[in-house]
Amino acid sequence: MRKIIVTEFITLDGVIEAPGGNETDHPHGGWQAQYRSPEGGQYKSDELNSVEALLLGRNTYELFAGYWPGQTGNPFSDRMNGLPKYIVSTSLNEAVWNNSHILRDANKVAELKKGEGGDILVYGSAALVKSLLHHNLVDELHLMVIPVSVGGGLRLFEDNRELKRFGLKHSRTFGNGVMVVEYQLPVTDSVDLK
């Protein structure tokens, strides 16, 4: 069975909104940009190269489809453009980015997960991730914790009183203070601390 791996940039106060700066009108957008590093870039590249498909919500898909097709000639962008992309949306009528496919609900994601092929990476896509977590479709959660707080915004976890247990798979701190924490769901006894 394929694994679904969620990857997020996240602040110390749990916000995932506007890490790059212009995705939303958050007053502190761009909080991730000042913490870019060769270590972080290599981690994100290795992460992307470890999967065989992308799974995106409509908003993230539209942002990515407006940017990545125009980026070519480097291994990261070529990989982004070449991978199959699955977009979960009830309102998107057409997916124009090459090798893109629309899925209408969580049941279709469950079918995709049971199908043939390698692991699937989810970037951003907060509403989708919340649904995937609720339906127990996430196998791993990769968080790049940026050492800032932004005082509010879109959070990964809702105040819905839903209990989820995560098992630590791996953690690492970069020289700039960014911490990468990888969790497994469901919890297992296998832990790699570096």
CB 167 within 8 A of CB 191: yes
**Higher local confidence (pLDDT), 18 or 123:** 123
Classify residue 175: in a domain, yes or no.
no
Classify residue 167: in a domain, yes or no.
no
CB-count exposure of residue 180 (10 Å: 0-12, 13-18, 19+): buried
Tally the domains of the chain.
1
Q: What is the mean pLDDT of residues 41-58?
A: 97
Classify residue 174: in a domain, yes or no.
no
Classify residue 62: in a domain, yes or no.
yes
CATH code for the domain in which residue 103 is found: 3.40.430.10
Task: Tell me the pairing of strands 120-123 and 53-57.
Answer: parallel
Percent helix, strand and coil across the chain, each to the nearest 5: 25, 25, 50
* Structure tokens that stand for 90 in this block: 């009830």
Q: Which domain holds residue 98?
A: 4-161
Whether pLDDT at 191 is above 90: no
Q: What is the mean pLDDT of residues 131-138?
A: 92
Q: What is the mean pLDDT of residues 18-27?
A: 89
Classify residue 47: in a domain, yes or no.
yes
Check residue 140 and give its pLDDT: 97
